[in-house]
Amino acid sequence: MLKKTKQKRQTREVKRDLKCPFCEEGLIPDYKDYKRLKKFLSDRGKILGRDRSGVCAQHQRKLSLAIKRARYLGLLPYTPLS
């Protein structure tokens, strides 16, 4: 009987040379600046991860809090507008 060989799944790793936009500009994510926060939401209204948005770990934590505060105050929607 033949042994089954496992096929390795090929993954594409695309390394982007993204730099944190908040570090470059010297800004801190603020819930009142909802126009800037919209850039870090997906089309379904979810917060983008660090690998897709290019934000450093420190600012990603502050960014998620700012987005959640803006949602609570009604500046950003919880779900996408259709």
Q: What's the confidence (pLDDT) of residue 81?
A: 75
User: From CA 49, how far away is CA 31, in angstroms rounded?
Assistant: 18
Distance in angstroms (rounded) separating the CA atoms of residues 62 and 65: 5
pLDDT at 29: 96
What is the structure's pLDDT at 38?
A: 94
According to the model, what pLDDT value does residue 7 have? 77
CA 45 – CA 80 distance, rounded (Å): 5
Asked if residue 47 lies in contact with residue 11, where contact means CB atoms within 8 angstroms, the answer is no
CATH topology of domain 21-72: 30s Ribosomal Protein S18 (4.10.640)
Task: For the chain, give every domain's residue range.
Answer: 21-72
Q: Which residues of the chain have pLDDT under 70?
A: 1, 13-17
pLDDT at 13: 66
Angle (CA) 40-43-49 rounded to 5° is 40
